């Protein structure tokens, strides 16, 4: 098995070569820089019958798991909208941009929490120290269910934040993804949920190894951060960048479910 932690621009070429060689592959996010390349990796992994995972490690965050459990009718009920903050200070970069670098995790976390992918995406972004590359972006997502999500990503903010806020039918919830701390606010007051933080990186690697082992034995398994999820995230990032370029809302187009070709023209 191979774990790819190389520059983003090399992910597709390196992952594709290992997949074609019959290796199971875990690729750090983003899976690729274009949706076409990302879905092609998914197709290649299927053809070779190897495991393809993407490094969306917050799927193993106990805080996120606990927060997801609150979206029950007896606790918070239906989620109305989400707010995600993914900020910090970063050295001036000559290459890359804040949307590609930071937005994949918020897109993935929103899906992990709700099981939904956005229908329409709008984005505004600016670069200040280097006007060639965006350093802060505000991304709006609309879902067919009526859910809305607002994502803020920044390489300029001295406050390192990895926060998720939910406004729901019966109250609000805030999750600090770094501390894995969830605070609920509802009609009965303010409650801090008891959570034992997980070692998300270790769990991610252990999960990948388990998937590889079961795949080798031809046993069924569920890959919690599988390549198709990673490819869908690349679609969201691509739609955000298209929205920024064309100054309009863009529909995110996701291919069909397993069993059908996922490569997009």
Tell me: the pLDDT tens digits for 188-216?
A: 899 999 999 999 999 999 999 999 998 88
Cα separation, 61 vs 240, whole angstroms: 25
pLDDT tens-place string over residues 83-142: 999 999 988 766 679 999 999 999 999 999 999 999 999 999 999 988 888 999 999 999
Cα(67)–Cα(121) distance, integer angstroms: 24
Tell me the three state secondary structure of residue 156.
strand
Instruction: Give the pLDDT of residue 91.
Output: 80
The token pair at 120 is 């329409």
Quote the strand ranges of 69-221, DSSP E. Answer: 79-89, 120-126, 136-142, 148-154, 156-168, 171-176, 181-186, 189-192
Phi, psi angle pair for 34, to nearest 5°: -135, 150
Q: Which of these CATH numbers, 3.40.50.620, 3.30.360.10, 3.40.50.720, 3.30.9.10, describes 58-192?
A: 3.30.360.10
pLDDT at 265: 41
Q: Kindly report, residue by residue over 45-68, the tens digit of the pLDDT.
A: 999 999 999 999 999 999 999 999
Name residue, tokens 């929490």.
113
Confidence band for 217, pLDDT divided at 50, 70 and 90: confident
Integer Cα distance of 3 and 74 in angstroms? 41
Question: What distance in Å separates the CA atoms of residue 161 and residue 140, rounded to the nearest whole number?
Answer: 18
Bridge partners of 153? Answer: 86, 137
97 token code pair: 């941009």
Phi then psi for 264, rounded to 5 degrees? Answer: -100, 140
Residue 144 pLDDT exceeds 90 = yes
CB contact at 8 A, 58 and 225: no
Q: Is the pLDDT of residue 160 over 80?
A: yes
Sign for the pseudo-dihedral over CA of 131, 110, 35, 246:
negative
| Predicted pLDDT at 182 | 97
- Hunting for tokens 């060689």 — which residue is that? 21
Per-position DSSP letters for 167-209, written without gaps between them: EETTEEEEEETTTTEEEEEETTEEEE-------HHHHHHHHHH
CA pair distance 157, 128, nearest whole angstrom: 12
Closest CA to 168 of 155, 149, 181, 153: 149
Global pTM reads 0.92
What CATH number labels 2-57+199-221?
3.40.50.720
In the structure encoding, which two tokens stand for residue 134, read together?
């965006």
Round to whole Å and give the CA distance between 156 and 135. Answer: 7
pLDDT, residue 105, reads: 97
∠ Cα 180 150 231 (to 5°): 80
d(CA 127, CA 114): 31
pLDDT at 94: 60
**What is the residue extent of each domain of the chain?**
2-57+199-221, 58-192
**Confidence at residue 92, expressed as pLDDT on a 0 to 100 scale:** 74
Q: Sort strands 250-251 and 148-154 into parallel, antiparallel or unpaired.
A: unpaired
């Amino acid at each position: 098995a191979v774990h790819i932690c190389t520059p983003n621009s090399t992910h597709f070429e390196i992952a594709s070569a290992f997949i074609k060689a019959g290796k199971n592959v875990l690729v750090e996010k983003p899976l690729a820089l274009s949706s076409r390349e990302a879905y092609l990796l998914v197709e290649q992994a299927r053809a070779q019958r190897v495991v393809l995972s993407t490094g969306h490690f917050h799927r193993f965050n106990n805080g996120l798991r606990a927060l997801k459990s609150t979206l029950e009718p007896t606790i918070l009920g239906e989620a109305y909208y989400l707010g995600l903050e993914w900020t910090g200070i970063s050295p001036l970069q000559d290459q890359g941009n804040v949307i590609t670098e930071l937005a994949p995790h918020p897109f993935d976390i929103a899906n992990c929490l709700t099981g939904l992918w956005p229908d329409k995406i709008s984005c505004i972004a600016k670069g200040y120290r280097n006007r060639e590359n965006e350093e802060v972006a505000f991304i709006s997502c609309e879902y067919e269910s009526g859910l809305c999500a607002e994502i803020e990503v920044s390489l300029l903010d001295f406050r390192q934040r990895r926060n998720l806020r939910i406004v729901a039918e019966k109250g609000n919830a805030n999750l600090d993804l770094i501390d894995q701390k969830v605070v609920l606010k509802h009609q009965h007051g303010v409650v801090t949920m008891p959570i034992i933080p997980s070692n998300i990186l270790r769990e991610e690697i252990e999960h990948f190894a388990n998937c590889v082992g079961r795949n080798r034995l031809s046993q069924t398994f569920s890959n919690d951060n599988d390549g198709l999820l990673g490819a869908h995230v690349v679609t969201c990032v691509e739609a955000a960048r298209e929205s920024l370029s064309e100054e309009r809302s863009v529909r995110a187009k996701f291919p069909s479910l397993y069993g059908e070709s996922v490569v997009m023209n």
